């Protein structure tokens, strides 16, 4: 379970998350809300990639900043910049070694990515950047998948495969998206972030 307790996040004077208390204990969530309402920020906080201004975030009993929590989650967001000078092959090899996983030939095949493995990140198209970002989130099959607008930029075939993959994913998923495949999907509990922020969550 992912638990946010009295979490606030400000960038300078801009308060983005406002004393939010919320328990994510369902298998599938879709976080929606207007542009700039803090959806990406919430995922970054939940992954321990951004520090809270106040409050705390706990994943299955461990602070999200701990190594234990980090092993349990995978995150994909266009906001996370990948090193320009590396290739997807190098990134995946490094990530697999860290997580003691085999190189993900299956993901690469399903996303039709083999031809991009040795292209430097700086030269990848937006759609292919999305694919490597998703693979890095998926490759260790984490218990918690945090996906920020995961289908944006994917071609039809990859998108269809990916949605199907998520349908069968055994772990928990928190996605931000404006897309009907998520917002109108009965398996995803829809959370309107601006409302949560307004009322401070308080459903835990």
Distance CA(121)–CA(143), nearest Å, equals: 27
Q: Is 18 helix (H, G, I), strand (E, B) or coil?
A: strand
End-to-end CA distance of the chain: 11
Q: Are 64 and 46 in contact (CB under 8 A)?
A: yes
Identify the helix (H) or strand (E) that includes residue 141. none
Kindly state whether residue 14 participates in binding ligand ATP, applying the rule CB under 6 A.
Answer: yes
Q: State the nearest-atom distance from the C-beta of 44 to ligand ATP, in Å.
A: 8
Q: 152 Cβ partners below 8 Å, 6+ apart?
A: 78, 130
Kindly state whether residue 40 participates in binding ligand ATP, applying the rule CB under 6 A.
Answer: yes
Q: Is 150 helix (H, G, I), strand (E, B) or coil?
A: coil
Q: State the nearest-atom distance from the C-beta of 191 to ligand ATP, in Å.
A: 12
Q: State the nearest-atom distance from the C-beta of 20 to ligand ATP, in Å.
A: 13
Q: Which residues pair with 63 in a beta bridge?
A: 58
Q: State the nearest-atom distance from the C-beta of 11 to ligand ATP, in Å.
A: 3
Which of the ranges 39-47, 81-89, 120-128, 137-145 carries the binding residues for ligand ATP, by CB under 6 A?
39-47
Kindly state whether residue 13 participates in binding ligand ATP, applying the rule CB under 6 A.
Answer: no
Pick the closer one to ligand ATP by CB: 36 or 63: 36
Kindly state whether residue 150 participates in binding ligand ATP, applying the rule CB under 6 A.
Answer: no
Q: Which residues bind ligand ATP (CB under 6 A)?
A: 11, 14, 16, 33, 35-41
């Amino acid at each position: 379970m992912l638990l946010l307790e009295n979490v606030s996040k400000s960038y300078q004077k801009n308060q983005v998350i406002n004393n939010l208390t919320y328990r994510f204990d369902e298998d599938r969530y879709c976080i929606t809300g207007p542009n700039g309402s803090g959806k990406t920020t919430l995922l970054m906080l939940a992954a321990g990639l951004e520090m809270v201004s106040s409050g705390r975030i706990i994943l299955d009993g461990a602070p999200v900043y701990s190594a234990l929590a980090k092993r349990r989650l995978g995150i994909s967001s266009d906001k996370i910049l990948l090193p320009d000078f590396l290739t997807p092959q190098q990134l995946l090899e490094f990530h697999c070694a860290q997580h003691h996983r085999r190189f993900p030939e299956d993901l690469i095949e399903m996303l039709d990515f083999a031809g991009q493995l040795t292209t430097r990140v700086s030269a990848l198209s937006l759609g292919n950047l999305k694919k490597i970002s998703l693979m890095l989130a998926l490759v260790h099959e984490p218990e918690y998948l945090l996906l920020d607008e995961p289908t944006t930029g994917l071609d039809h075939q990859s998108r269809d495969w990916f949605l199907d993959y998520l349908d069968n994913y055994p772990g928990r998923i928190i996605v931000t998206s404006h897309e009907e495949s998520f917002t109108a999907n009965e398996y995803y509990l829809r959370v309107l972030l601006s409302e949560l922020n307004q009322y401070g969550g308080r459903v835990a």
